[in-house]
Amino acid sequence: MLHILVGVFFILHGLIHLIGFVVNWQIITTDEFPYATTLLAGRIDVGDGGIRVVGLLWLLAAVGFVIAGYGLITLAPWWLALTAGVTLFSSVMCILGWPQAQFGLYINLLILVLLFLDGRFHWIPRT
């Protein structure tokens, strides 16, 4: 049962990554997530085209977490490797999107701790 809850958590975390896509593609903007063409707290300006590429990378992270969550829920043998990879990728994206994405980085660190604990204590049932 715990693996289902954590899998749903991964899916929800992935859906939150869609903010990076919809804002960078100017589908929506909010006061908390304004459209900008810069990365690393405004240090690097990538322009309109570059920020759209960054938006696609956020979309890739979203899809990765949704698939990883599904893999965990179904206990697919690949869920752990995908989750570790997409979490590291997402962490890089959160650093690039700092400070707006800082909370996502903290969640990613929590996920990495969960993965470590599974490796140590095997809280996820094995197929």
Q: Quick one: CA dihedral 91, 37, 34, 58, positive or negative?
A: negative
User: How many angstroms separate the CA atoms of 99 and 117, rounded?
Assistant: 28
**Residue 16: its pLDDT value, please?**
96
pLDDT tens digits, residue range 11-58?
Answer: 999 999 999 999 999 999 888 889 999 999 999 999 999 999 999 999
Q: Is residue 126 part of a domain?
A: no
Q: Is residue 97 part of a domain?
A: yes
**Residue 78: its pLDDT value, please?**
95
Q: Is residue 22 part of a domain?
A: yes
Q: Is residue 89 part of a domain?
A: yes
Reported as a pLDDT band with limits 50, 70 and 90, residue 122 is: confident
**Residue 127: its pLDDT value, please?**
61
Other C-beta atoms lying within 10 Å of the C-beta of residue 121: 8
**Considering the chain, what is the average pLDDT of its residues?**
94
Q: Is residue 11 part of a domain?
A: yes
The whole-model pTM stands at 0.92
Q: Is residue 39 part of a domain?
A: yes
Q: Is residue 95 part of a domain?
A: yes
Full domain range(s) for residue 77: 2-121
pLDDT tens digits, residue range 57-116?
Answer: 999 999 999 999 999 999 999 999 999 999 999 999 999 999 999 999 999 999 999 999
Cβ atoms of residues 96 and 27 within 8 Å:
no
**Residue 110: its pLDDT value, please?**
95
Q: Is residue 127 part of a domain?
A: no
Domain count, the chain: 1
